[in-house]
Structure 1
Amino acid sequence: MKKRFAVSYIEIFLFILSIVFAPQYLPIDIRPLVYIFWGLLGIKRTGWILRKSFYTSITTFILYFLTIYSLSVIFINGTGEYSLGIRYFRALLSVSAITLYLNSYKISSDRIIKGLIGVLLIHSLVIIIEIIEPSSRAYFYIFAETNQIEYPFRANGLVNGYDYAGLYTNIGLMLVALKYIKDRSNSYLIAMIIFIIATIFTSRLNMLLMLVTLIIIFRQSLIFKAKVLATGLLIFFLTTGSIGIFLLAITTDAFPEIRKYIFNNVEGTQGMYEVIRLSYSDDNVENVIEEQFKLISAKNMVFGSGEDGNIDPGYNQLINTIGIIGTGIILLYYCSMIFYLKSKKGIKKRLNNLKIVYLISIYLLLFNIIFNFKLLFFFSAGIFEMTSILIICYERNKKINET
């Protein structure tokens, strides 16, 4: 067996950047080429080393099954929408490449965390730049579709979709907050501000998620006695919480009486609504729910129809494509990964780099399950790769006491 390499921060940064944010909208999809490059680099260094791990074994088995099952359903139903099944094959390629590459060097939790922070900061800064200078969006079309609707007060950075963009900024916010609690470096506080600002310009859903994230961070800051962070977070929480609820109230008809009351009693809110409504949909909530939660006929619900259905909620989209059976298997897989990580021993009470990797891994798995009520996040490009990198890193380092 060849000796494992100790690679630089720059290489780890480039690895994460290319795996998570590979351009999807060039004349050809280069993501398979990216996976092949990093997989071959790992093979060149250490040969065909595939360290046995629960995560890699179960994930590859599930993805093999889902690829065959989804393509079979599509073929039997004659829909021809094979791209719906290819997503699982793409995920299979990526997790194989990630495993081969990470097996080729000594994994450092600190380097993985700092590499992720650097990549997510770039994504967040791109969001802010797109808001300040809308014409800059043209330079990032290789990461997001060119035919998407552009909103003046929303941006999606290096991904296609505002909800996806905000999930990344929330992950970055959680990472830098935990690193500040551990290291007490003021640079992480500056990074927190960047992530918060970027999140505000993604979607209302992510503003609500940011509140949950801030509550989690606030709790951790109290546990580990980070008083400066706790005080700042309390102010941020009250401010962003009020803004989030205010925007939700005036930009949707979820609370029609509250919106009417605000318009009638708070001067300027009607004018504000006329401006920001260009960035947020104002559809009737009941109609949206009724339309989006229409399911296919009971005949195809069990095994799926092999069709996309163009339905927003991820669970509905899955049931339309691969039925209750396929959806149940995916949901069981994600839940089992959470229980697997929580069952592992060796996580110390004090906050170290390994515990940060553990907490972010749980955070990602949970919000994949929750966000899937909005969009299809399961095995989505980027989020799945980030989750895989973190969990494999955790498995390899769970017995190492890092500072």
Structure 2
Amino acid sequence: MDKEEIITSLDIGSDSITCAVGKNIDDKIEVLYAGSKQCKKGLKNGIVINISNLSNICRELLEEAEQEVGDINITDVYAGIRGSHIDSMNNHGVYTVPRSDKNITSDDVYSVIENAKAIHLPNERTIIHVIPQEFSVDREKGFENPVGMEGNILETTVHIVTGNISHLNNISKTIANAGFSIKEHIYHIYPLAEMTLSEEEKKLGTMIIDIGDQITSIAIYYDGKIKFSKDILLGSYHITNDIAYALHIPYDEANKLKEIHGCTISSIIAEDSEIEYISMDKTTKKKINKLALCEYIKPRVEEILMEIRAIIEKNECFSYINGIVITGGGSLLKGMDRAISKIFRINDVRYGFANPEYITIKDNKYQNQKYLTAISILSYPVFIKPQLEQFFSSDIDSNGFNRFINWLKNLFS
């Protein structure tokens, strides 16, 4: 199998690592493998807390991927990241076209984006993504790529994602210690949104909510582009923890109760039957009815969703949202779609899946929410990065170098 055709991703989750391997065939990703391992001793809230422990798990997972796929040698990965250290903002840039012909070139586009990304950052932070939203030419908006147009003043608005340098470096060190290298750090919600939202949803206005174990991530699209993104330190772990605390039972038993019998809205419980569970001593059996279990779950679900609503209202993004797509393991809690519809008063709520136009998943066992982000990251170098690079490829450096070479030739001729 040609090494150049293979793409590998590692999604660094709240407290787990998920790997996906895909093959680029005729500009379409075919998923060859997906797997996941818990790493509670190495990760917390998406932050590396034990490099040695996490390195061992990364190595095991990637070696397992090599064995499962066969005839491949993984050397580098695209790393999906998340956590409270991730921040984002929108910024505006202006550039005056200096030439008399006023024809806008790729160099001009490059320059205006450079102006837009020229933000003040503390020493401990770095830019991860700069995503152009739109361009304006002489105050007229709506240009996706203004190269070839004529104008005096070129403007752009960009979505900038930043992260803590130390946390990013710790992820790089972890993967290096495992014997691999990082091709790029990628904010996980970006490729996830790009691969699960349809073009119509991006245009009309849609929010994606990715409910993880300890982190819930959101991104809002409108007019075809990402307008807002945010990570919140609340997730399905906190729901499980509430059950464990209320019933005084082991965490794993609480998680089993939540996944099998839990729900977010009592009205969807068809029959209020009793559920048997194991108490803290792991021998005594006790019972609880489904309605009572639901009452332990509802407050935390409402807290998570109300926190999201408060954040998007504070950032004046609510008016963009005409539909909601939910992903992540936490989204599988029964009735989550109805709870979201109720809190946000939006009827159009659906579960996300990888867009088959870009990604092929032949093995049904990989059609699982816990693999969706890692699988979506596979699309980044094939579909997403080339779209960004069209704006960041400038002829300035190459032309300057060529002029310098010609000057030397003339000097010594």
TM-score computed with the length of structure 2 as normaliser: 0.24
Question: Rg bigger for which structure?
Answer: 2
**TM-score normalised to the size of structure 1?**
0.24
Instruction: Give 1 or 2: higher strand fraction.
Output: 2
